[in-house]
Amino acid sequence: MTVPATVTSSARPAGDSDILLEVRDLRTYFHVLDGTVKAVDGVSFTIRRGQTIGLVGESGCGKSVTALSIMRLLDIPPAEIASGEIIFEGRDLLALSEEEMRHVRGNDIAMIFQEPMTSLNPVYTVGDQIAEAVMLHQRLSKKEAWNKAIEALRAVGINNPERRVKQYPHELSGGMRQRVMIAMALSCDPKLLIADEPTTALDVTIQAQILELIKDVQDRTGTALMLITHDLGVVAETVHDVLVMYAGRIVETGTVEDVLLAPKHPYTEGLLRSIPSRGMKGQRLNVIKGTVPNPFNMPKGCNFAPRCPYAFEPCAEYDPRIEDANPPDVACWLYTPAPGSPVPPRVRPRRPVEVGA
Amino acid sequence: MSDQPLRSPATSRVTPLTDTAATDYEVALESLNQWQLAWRRFRRHRLALVGVGILGVMVFLAIFGPIIWPYDPLALRRDLPGPQGFNPLQMPPFGSDGSGRSVFVLVANGARLSMLIGTTTMLIAVTIGVLIGAIAGFFGGWIDNLLMRFVDLVLSIPFLFIVLVAARFFGAGELVPLILIFGLLSWPSLARLVRALYLSLREQEFVLAARAVGVGDLRIALRHILPNAIGPIVVSATLIVANAIILEAFVSYLNFGLKAQDISWGNALARSQERIAVGNWWWPFFPGMAIALTVIAINFLGDGLRDALDPRSKE
Amino acid sequence: MTTYIVRRLIGLLPLFFGAIVISFLLMRAAPGGPQAALAGIKSITQEDREKWLRRWCLQAEVTPVNMVKEFGGWLGVLNCDSDTIPEIFFSAQGGLNVLPTALGGGDNGILHGDLGLSIRAGRPVVDVIMERVPATLLLTSTALVLWVGIAILIGTYAAVRRYSLFDQAMTFFAYVFYSLPTFWLGLMLIFIFAVFLRTSGVTDFFPTGGIITTRDWPPFNTAEYWAAFGQRPLAALVDVGRHLVLPVFTLVAVNIAGDSRFVRAAMIEALNQDYVRTAKAKGLPSRTVIAKHAFRNAMLPVVTNVALELPFLVSGAIVTETIFTWPGLGRLFIESVNASDYFVLMGLLLVSTIFILIANLLADVVYAIVDPRIRYD
């Protein structure tokens, strides 16, 4: 039986009533003309109430698809949630009817997206769009909902919310629109907020503001946060725990300190090494050699093996799964005894990685 | 397995996999160029293929029809005695009048002029339209303003009215003036389209890149931008052909078009209206059907081309 | 907004002027011309004929100067009672001819509301045109409202249920009907309803010609007709209605295809937008997402498209009116071309051009009203 990979989090006592979302062996496939893409291939993790967790990986590794699968926002052909369970507060979301799922969306789980420019409907005012969600889930009257919208805007740091609430999206800057998105997401007091690359499309200075806002809001409301990003820096600043994804699988989990300072998985290590630093002036950049595997033709054995500087015999033969490791926080034969390997696993001592070295 | 205690640091050597293994798994997709991709998409479009098939038949008729089945237009105008009937089992197909003239032959002959009008109109319209549109869109500024005002002007004139007036007063039933009139009235909307395309493509980075290595304006407009604009242009061109064929039929029906001696589908339709009263529905039916089929085929083809040539198409 | 409209209207003037000039030149360049046509009307005296000739500055020869004079006369700028400059610019009252009559201007030309004389009918063009307008508007507006309404319904449904049987069937029929020449469809319908059904014994419930049953009613839009209408309104409506069916069906069938494809494309575009994903993520029911979020945005291009189709109301039914012998503007146009009825043709061209320009303006204005992103102040 596969054991779900619980993220070890020293700050919180473990307890089952604390578990908000449990994803078990989620597999989401896309059936396209040239074949089937296994975008999410056996992903399991848990989120507790109030926990902040980052989902990190490069483009195409399946992190957005994971989030969309949780929200069941994928277009079912060509997508298909082939197997797995998504248990939210004791109910399997995948087994719910569409009607029941709608009550969850926006209400219990809210999501914000990457493109604030296009994620708001241009023909309705900002207030309309926030009030819409509130009226739907909380059954408030129009007036009450409108007031709630104004409060929501105030809570995300928008000045003069009474005026702003009547404006249209195109009258607001990118950063402000993202604030509106956050306000809209939080307006119904969700228990989990999923933020899919919320700052990627924004300027660096605005990025910092929005991240600050997200952290602040999360602190105040105690909402659990799942932040999806490819930017390790964002992760370091905003969340407590992190999941690293590669090619549809989770390859490493842990707290931010553990994973970013002393990564176990060679991929994580490669990511960290590739961040340039000041001391590197004049030297070649460190890159992870090779490219992301062909989605229609995944490598036999470990997905990362062809690019891995530490790969050895079992890597090309057997597929390491994070659930099999002990503790189950990394998917790599360096840390797990591999089947059929005559060589016992080598334990790499935990040592800090010099970023950029 | 997970209960096995972890061993101490290994003393045995670890053999890293070689680089060749890495390359095996690298993304190895066949690289197809733009036209091959377009062809692939086009082939999957069943309706478009049907369209091509129908058009093939029409083109065949246009080229070989009058040769294989010659037709005497004068015969149509005589009211011939004798059995008139529609008997599909009887050759020639589509019914005949007593003297053996058949609607099929009429249709086969009409194909030539109708298709000719369609294609030449398109050629004229495309030449002028692309030229003016490209100049306006590429250079912008006052040239664009001037040319577009001119286009607006032509587009402000009620199309059908002018066509009819011009066809009657200048056409005099001759082929060439008719084609000229159609062509001269069809280019403005294409010019607008081409201008919009050039305006947007001009801002793309590949143009900037070309300029950065010193490529001159003319070459950029022709060799860099035009191939990128060709998709919508081709689709519009097919629509112009379809419109011209229908227009010819309209105009001929109202007796403003080709003179009686010429045979086109439009002409055939016009002169056979009175036969309806006698119940010989097949006289107007089949020429009209030929027009409809050709236009449908062109529309299917245009749709297939649009899907095939649009790089953003998801189908 | 009003400043925008006014500015655009002013900008349209040169366009309008240019279009009229081109139309005028085209007409005049044709052989014959109003001179000859006027000569052919027997019902007016020679003296009247001279008066008309002078009133519209009709010249004997076609030279550039003469063309300018004729155009000026037709516009109402010139007063050809005299032939010398500067008198030619002044009216009989003494003011500049181009001014309104009340302010001392002349009373000829379109600027003063005189569209000329119908050579065929011997009556003012304005009367001739206005008499035919109701019939055309009845036909075209019924058709337009019907096909736009149905197209929006079908197109939206097809977009929402993309690739379903409905969608594929709709697409297929759209192509087929879109490609049918209007008049061929009309002819076939006439055959079915006039010949086939009648000869098989089925009564002709949908007549194939005219706007009223000539046995029972006086000619349409005459004083007698409206008197009779007043007496039996219901029967009159039914009668006209029955006559409307076939021509409207013909127009709707051919035009619905293009518009429904357009609506479908606009809806699909809207449904693919990010804000639709946001709306779903908020937990809104599909109905609301489609109707409130996607539809509203999809209607922006659709409304513009419809506005651009408005010229159809005036000039769109030429062939349909001919086939179904509908007494409207289209038929008037054909009859006038055949008779070289110069002034009527110019009048019709004028009306159509105005319609086209207004429709273009309307399209922009409506778009600005409906899309909050566009503000022209």
What ipTM is given for this predicted complex? 0.76
- The CA distance from B208 to the nearest CA of chain A, in Å, is 24
- Mean pLDDT on C232-251: 86
Contact yes or no for C297 and A118 at CB 8 A: no
Residues of C in contact with B154 (CB under 8 A): 22
**pLDDT above 50 (res C84):** yes
The chain C residue lying nearest B281, using CA atoms, is: C191
Report yes or no on whether pTM surpasses 0.90.
Answer: no
| Chain A interface, Cβ < 8 Å to B | 289-294, 297-299, 305-313, 315-316, 324-326, 328, 335-337, 339, 343-347, 349
Contact yes or no for A324 and B3 at CB 8 A: no
- Under the banding of pLDDT at 50, 70 and 90, the label for residue C174 is confident
| Chain A interface, Cβ < 8 Å to C | 71, 73, 102-107, 110-111, 113, 115, 118-124, 132-133, 136-137, 168, 170, 181, 184
Determine the pLDDT at residue A67: 93
Residues of B in contact with C175 (CB under 8 A): 47, 296, 299-300, 303
**A23-37, B85-99, B163-177, B265-279: which range is least confident on average?**
B85-99
Q: For strand A19-32 and strand A35-48, is the pairing parallel, antiparallel, or unpaired?
A: antiparallel
Residue C57 CA to residue C75 CA, distance in Å, equals 10
Question: Long-range contacts made by residues A171-176, C-beta under 8 angstroms, separation at least 24?
Answer: A172/A126, A174/A116, A174/A117, A174/A201, A174/A202, A174/A203, A174/A206, A175/A116, A175/A202, A175/A203, A175/A206, A175/A209, A175/A210
Quick: pLDDT tens for A195-239: 999 988 888 888 889 999 999 988 899 899 999 998 888 888 889
Determine the pLDDT at residue B300: 85
The chain A residue lying nearest B10, using CA atoms, is: A346
- Under the banding of pLDDT at 50, 70 and 90, the label for residue B90 is very low
Mutation choice for A interface testing from C273, C275, C292, C302 by most A CBs within 10 A: C275
Contact yes or no for B160 and C349 at CB 8 A: no
Residue A64 CA to residue A257 CA, distance in Å, equals 24
Per residue, the 3-state secondary structure of chain C, as one string, reads: CHHHHHHHHHHHHHHHHHHHHHHHHHHHHCCCCHHHHHHHCCCCCHHHHHHHHHHCCCCCCCCHHHHHHHHHHHHCCCCCCCCCCCHHHECCCCCECCCCHHHCCCCCCHHHCCCCECCCCCCEHHHHHHHHHHHHHHHHHHHHHHHHHHHHHHHHHHHHCCCCHHHHHHHHHHHHHHHCCHHHHHHHHHHHHHHHHHHCCCCCCCCCCCCCCCCCCCCCCCHHHHHHHHHCHHHHHHHHHHHHHHHHHHHHHHHHHHHHHHHHHHHHHHHCCHHHHHHHHCCCCHHHHHHHHHHHHHHHHHHHHHHHHCCHHHHCCHHHHHHCCCCCHHHHHHHHHHHCCHHHHHHHHHHHHHHHHHHHHHHHHHHHHHCCCCCCC
Determine the pLDDT at residue C149: 94
Determine the pLDDT at residue C377: 46
Quick: pLDDT tens for B16-61: 444 444 444 444 445 667 777 777 777 777 778 888 888 888 888 8
- Under the banding of pLDDT at 50, 70 and 90, the label for residue B92 is very low
Contact yes or no for B25 and A297 at CB 8 A: yes
Of A172, A194, A176, give the one whose Cα is nearest residue A185. Answer: A194
- The structure tokens 């005949």 sit at B96
- Mean pLDDT on C249-267: 88
Select from B47, B164, B292 the Cβ nearest to the Cβ of C181.
Answer: B292
C266/C62: higher pLDDT? C266
Across the B/C interface, how many CB contacts are shorter than 8 Å?
127
Residues of B in contact with A331 (CB under 8 A): none
Contact yes or no for C179 and B152 at CB 8 A: no
What is the 8-class DSSP label of residue A305? G
The continuous run of DSSP H or E covering A290 comes out as none
- Under the banding of pLDDT at 50, 70 and 90, the label for residue C68 is confident
User: Are C245 and C206 contacting, i.e. CB atoms less than 8 angstroms apart?
Assistant: yes
Select from B1, B19, B26 the Cβ nearest to the Cβ of A291.
Answer: B26
**pLDDT above 60 (res C281):** yes
- Mean pLDDT on B64-81: 59
Contact yes or no for B7 and A292 at CB 8 A: no
Contact yes or no for C29 and B169 at CB 8 A: yes
Tokens of B146: 């001037």
- The structure tokens 């007409």 sit at C27
Residue B42 CA to residue B51 CA, distance in Å, equals 12
Determine the pLDDT at residue A357: 42
**B6-20, B141-155, C268-282: which range is least confident on average?**
B6-20
Contact yes or no for C280 and A73 at CB 8 A: yes
- Under the banding of pLDDT at 50, 70 and 90, the label for residue C31 is low
- Mean pLDDT on C294-323: 85
The chain C residue lying nearest B242, using CA atoms, is: C179
Determine the pLDDT at residue A48: 92
Determine the pLDDT at residue A224: 93
Mean pLDDT of chain B: 74
Residue C158 CA to residue C165 CA, distance in Å, equals 9
- Mean pLDDT on C204-230: 77
Q: Per DSSP, what are the bridge partners of residue A111?
A: A194
List, for chain A, all residue ranges whose pLDDT scores fall below the cut of 70.
1-16, 340-357
The chain A residue lying nearest B21, using CA atoms, is: A306
Amino acid at C117: L
Q: At what angle do helices C329-339 and B159-166 cross, to 10 degrees?
A: 20
Contact yes or no for C373 and A121 at CB 8 A: no
Residue B87 CA to residue C377 CA, distance in Å, equals 69
Determine the pLDDT at residue B303: 80
Determine the pLDDT at residue A130: 92
Mutation choice for A interface testing from B12, B15, B18, B26 by most A CBs within 10 A: B26
Mean pLDDT of chain C: 81
Determine the pLDDT at residue A348: 58
Contact yes or no for A347 and B22 at CB 8 A: no
Q: Which of A124-128, C31-35, C94-98 has the highest mean pLDDT?
A: A124-128
User: Are C140 and C317 contacting, i.e. CB atoms less than 8 angstroms apart?
Assistant: yes
